[in-house]
Structure 1
Amino acid sequence: MYRIGILASTMTPSPDVYKAFEKINCQLDHLKEVPNFEKLHTYDGLLIEEVHEGAISSVCSTILQIKQQTNVYIWVLSGKSTLINRQVYLQLGVDGNFDQESFPEELLLYLKNFLSRQDEQRKTQRAVVGGKKNANQISTIGEKLEMDPTNHSLIVFIGEKEVEVELTRLEYRLLELLYSYPGKAFNYQEIHENLWNSPYKEENYRVANIVFHVRKKLERHDVGSEFIKTVRSKGYMIKLENIKKTSKK
């Protein structure tokens, strides 16, 4: 499931809006301020409310604050968008601008089409281990793990038990990269450029933070996180033989 945050101070999404987002496989969170770095990376997209036309300076500041920390998708929700405002936001790298009058219908249609294309691209580009597979199949790692590009999840088989671990877009891309060559150590630069598609600036903590959150999710599902191995002073690798064999009682 995709996770979308809406930064809004004057509007509160109704229960029907939350349900509408769930129908297109999106979790909508109402945010009062930009999340801290740890929480920010868990979002696949952020929607910023433009309270009025004159709030362009505040919106631009928020956009820059977000883009300094992550390459998450960003959209602006305007009371009434103007040509000048739209052009400014696009120059800052925003992915779209929508009017509140058409919210949420127009945005939902956009997201449905956009995310559908993202899923199709992910299916064709994902790493396949253990032989070639049809692009519409789930990527299988031996008999123990499966990666589901549609739900952005990792499915782990422990004996007869099947555990599904939901991941964010970046978390999924991290595991997808590591799975492309099990046993190969990927350095911080390789991982950073694959996740954020931006130049590497010795920001190892950003990669380490995502690995930390993936490991915590695996532990919460009683899977164990030992198969994501830290290679000291270099980066990370996947050790499939370290997958937890049994679950706790």
Structure 2
Amino acid sequence: MDKKSVNTGIISLSANLAEPYSEELMKHNMNVMPLTMENFEQYIDQLDAVIIRENAEQDVRHTCQLLVKIKESSDAFVWVFSPNTAVSMRIVYLQLGAVGVISDECKADELHLIISNSVQKRKNTKHINDESDDERLNEKDQSRSLVELNQRNSSVRIDGKKEIPLTKLEYRAIDFFYKNMNNAVTYQEIFEAVWEKEFDNKNYRVANLIFHLREKIEKDASNPILIQTVRSKGYMLAE
């Protein structure tokens, strides 16, 4: 594939992306790759953007699985293209890594602009982001975070600051991470420790829990330092 082009994968579930959308993308120097749930992982590292075309009434489970898997193995932008998605599910999709949920009212030229603007913005800011990453790593080396758990209060204290109250599931998760400090734990291990039942392959439930936990304990939940993602495996609490 042409490296100068924007490589866009289209994963169609029980609904297909209409031809005018693909044609519009290709008109603007975008390589469009039709993919499936079975083969998308073979090509994910080549993609700048992914569109999941779903039917909101039938494909929620598969869409959540795809979002979790893509987030584990790629930094591609992901949009869910879906008719009549409930607000509650739009929030879940965004929590699992989608950058947006697009309705059928979106026009072909609008879709092209949404994707190209996002990808171009990333290219323009890549150098700045690289410098910020270096600064964050230096800060972490100079001052590691101290994590203190309070089982009685179901709370956590970071660097001796004010206690942060957690839900029962959030506390179980941070306690499990704490017991495995600086070691990666899998989605299955987290699920069984937190929900105390056999793993049901619902990775999105773990991802959703970690999203809320990060919102509470990280200085910047979008750039987590404490709870780190271990690609293709799970998470790790780093101190």
TM-score (norm 2): 0.47
More helix by share: 2
Compare relative contact order (CA 8 Å, sep 6+) and give the higher one, 1 or 2: 2
TM-score (norm 1): 0.45
